Chains A and B, each alone.
Chain A
Amino acid sequence: MIAPFTTPFMGRALAELALLAIVCGPVSVFVFARRLSFVSDALTHTVFPGVVIGFLAGGVEGIFAGALIAAVLTAVVLTLLTRGGALSDDASTAVVLTAMFSIGVALVSRRSSYTNDLTTFLFGRILTVTPRQIAETAVLAVVILALLALGARALLFRTFDPAGAAAAGYRIGWLDLWLNVLVALVVVAAVRAVGTILVVALLIVPAAAARMLTHRLAAMALLGTMLILAAGYGGLLLSWTASVDHGINLTSASTVVLLLVAAYLVLLPVGLFRARLRRPVLS
């Protein structure tokens, strides 16, 4: 059970996933409570043009900066658009998502090896994570957790009572921007290593699954982190076993996501049962 992880690349993959687990547990709780699933999904797509432009401008070193700029830009644009009220939230999110992604695709499509680049972007290269990437993720993880800890009280207040928070003097627009930027940073930290498929899942599924077991936010965050750790370990082990022992080509990113979704489905009846137990008290 531990043997596969003694090979350096498996060990690094697990380390990267563990770092992401620590970050994504708490952040996914806010994504869940504020219903930002679509925004997270959009952010994973909109960093793509940043990745492409960064790569064209500065080679491999430019990717990180490009993704960071694109992600923060998207966070700002999305916050502004949803406040403007010209379109409904979800329509503007959809338009920003498709437009930015298309810019990326249009840029890539002028290069010859473009299908390959797209695939890398989707799946990431979790098995070729370098120590440098782990270091970058670790730095971003510290930044994200610090920002989250600083803003947690205000963000919670705004989540559950926007009118009250505004009356108490909090600036709602800045708080929304704060959270969107946090999600954007998570995407930047994770996307190159683990690909878009896995990032979306890490931001949405853990809290949704943990919500079935508890309604306390701190417990949800902790459970979410544990779920990601378990799914990360299990997914890497499964894909290793499948491809080494059975010759089946199982991508690790997909396996980790599918394990997370499986956890959600297993916990779903528990959540419905708990809701039924509580209902008489509420009504």
Chain B
Amino acid sequence: MTWWDDALHRATAEVILVGALAGLIGVQVVLRRLSFFTMALTHATFPGVVAASIIGVNIFVGGVAAGAVVALGVAALSRRQGQNAAAATGVVLSGGFALGAGLVATQNGFSRDLSSFLVGSVLTVTPQDLVLTAVVLVVVAGVLAIGARPLLFTGFDRTGARAAGFATTAWDVVLLFTIEVVVVTVGPAVGTILALALIVAPAAAARLWSHRLPVITALAMAFGVLSGLGGLYVSSRWNLAAGASITLVATATLLLSSLLVRIPGRVVPA
């Protein structure tokens, strides 16, 4: 009996890893206004996951493959002039979700699978899930560290970045892919709604406290981990769904931040 054999211990470790990962990528999502894209990804990778589990392939591979198609599709659709990117994302979202839900419905006992897809089942993570999350965390941190300069430049001044010789389109695709991998990693363990909440809320809260990207990133990761741990505690204390309580704690963090920032006397960087 090692420490890892307890489901609650594994859940704690997973929540810490997921919180850090979500906070890390969340900063990019919030600054680049990609929340809706992230939402679409969580729904549109669903058919990939379902198809993979029906065929018997690793569901992570299925999710990544479906997400890659979606990321490229959205990138291509929103590059065209006059195309409404929000509408294109919406079409991808509803189409992907309908396809996944339809696929699930052809199998038996589907309502359980569907709800665990939505709200996750953090108490059933396996050691393999933990290793996978840790590996993805390292890889994502690496990619963001290497791409920090071009990503920042492209995000704030696309024309300037292109003039300075950065491959802006390539970096956009890299960013979309990174978000996609995070969503696919986080999704099965904690559910789609929670994935979106953990990516957006801590980063949005951190954004209120500072204007410097390294500070925002560190704060976002800290808020992510704290929301995860706090939510897990609330969930086991009052017997609520774990995913839902983590989301609510993350939202509370954001609300609290937006109130604290307004307290007069604090030096607010304008």
Residues in chain A within 8 A of chain B (CB atoms): 32, 35-38, 40-41, 45, 86-95, 97-99, 101-103, 105-106, 108-110, 114-116, 118-119, 122-123, 197-198, 200-201, 204-205, 207-208, 211, 248-251, 253-255, 257-258, 260-261, 264, 272, 275
Question: How far, in whole Å, are A48 and B182 apart by their CA atoms in the complex?
Answer: 27
Q: Is the CB of B30 within 8 A of A37?
A: no
Q: Are A272 and B80 in contact (CB under 8 A)?
A: yes
Is there contact, CB below 8 Å, between B251 and A201?
Answer: no
Chain A CB within 8 A of B36 CB: yes
Q: List 12 A-B contacts (CB under 8 A).
A: A37-B36, A91-B200, A94-B36, A97-B196, A105-B241, A108-B241, A110-B240, A118-B115, A122-B114, A204-B87, A208-B88, A257-B94
B248 touches A102 (CB 8 A): yes
Task: Give the size of the chain B interface in residues (CB under 8 angstroms).
Answer: 56
Whether A38 lies near B248 (C-beta < 8 A) is: no
Contacts of B81 in A (CB 8 A): 275
Chain A residues positioned under 8 Å from B36 (CB to CB)? 37-38, 41, 90, 93-94
Cβ–Cβ contact B101 & A122, under 8 A: yes
Please give, as numbers and ranges, the residues of chain A lying within 8 Å of B93 by CB-CB distance: 37, 41, 200, 204
B218-270 interface with A by 8 A CB criterion: 239-241, 243-245, 247-248, 250-251, 254, 258
Q: Which residues 88-107 of B have a CB within 8 angstroms of A?
A: 88-91, 93-95, 97-99, 101-102, 105-106
What per-residue 1/0 map shows which CB atoms of B187-231 lie under 8 Å from chain A? 000000110110011011001100000000000000000000000
State the B residues within 8 Å of A (CB).
30, 33-36, 38-39, 80-82, 84, 86-91, 93-95, 97-99, 101-102, 105-106, 110-112, 114-115, 118-119, 193-194, 196-197, 200-201, 203-204, 207-208, 239-241, 243-245, 247-248, 250-251, 254, 258
Given A98-B201, A105-B193, A106-B244, answer yes or no on A275-B82 (Cβ-Cβ < 8 Å).
yes
Asked whether, in the complex, the Cβ of B119 is within 8 Å of the Cβ of A105, the reply is: yes
Tell me if A251 and B197 are in contact (CB < 8 A). Answer: no
Dominant SS at the B interface? helix
Chain B residue at minimal CB-CB distance from A257:
B98
Additional A-B contact list (17), CB under 8 Å, known A93-B35, A94-B196, A98-B247: A37-B36, A37-B90, A41-B36, A91-B203, A94-B35, A98-B193, A98-B250, A102-B244, A105-B118, A109-B241, A118-B119, A201-B98, A204-B90, A205-B90, A208-B87, A253-B98, A261-B91
